[in-house]
Amino acid sequence: MGMAESLETHRIPWSIDVKRDMELVRRILLTVQAKSSLEPELIQIDGLDDAVVGRHVEMLFDAGFLEGMEHSTLASEYRDILVKDLTWDGHEFVGAISKDELWQKLKSAIGPGELAGQSLKAIKDASIAAATAYLKGKLGL
């Protein structure tokens, strides 16, 4: 095998087609919430492509939901984000979407396709409003 062939077979695709997946966003936030330390680390989710997870982590970092630092290499398809923790906004959002009952209600009311098309802020605000209403109902308020 020649040098050109070797380079060709190990070429990394520089463009990944990633559509925002709110179910994956939720899984990432729950994974970060469950971390046992504040040691910065790459977030990986079993069974999912690292590039897709990494791109979603990058978007959540840029949106201010994750605290961490960039760690990029020339071979990376996206900026690697070493995640330390959730930010305050991240904690509020995951608190509102962590209860399966509320998450399912939100998904069924809006639909997964439309959910992915909404702004993250709108989804966060709606989730917090639903969680607040749920809590008020539990407290009899």
* Predicted confidence (pLDDT) per residue in 83-141, tens digit: 999 999 999 999 999 989 888 888 888 887 788 788 888 888 888 888 888 889 888 88
**Residue 8 included in any domain:** no
pLDDT category of residue 78 using cuts at 50, 70 and 90: low
**Residue 34 included in any domain:** yes
Helix spans in the chain (H) = 3-9, 22-33, 50-62, 88-97, 100-110, 112-117, 120-139
**Confidence at residue 28, expressed as pLDDT on a 0 to 100 scale:** 97
**Confidence at residue 137, expressed as pLDDT on a 0 to 100 scale:** 87
Structural domain range at position 64 = 15-139
Total domain count for the chain? 1
**Residue 122 included in any domain:** yes
How many Cβ atoms sit within 10 Å of the Cβ of residue 40?
14
Query: In the predicted model, is pLDDT for residue 7 greater than 50?
Result: no
The dihedral through the CA atoms of 124, 97, 23, 26 has a sign that is positive
Crossing angle between the packed helical segments 100-110 and 88-97, to the nearest 10 degrees: 80
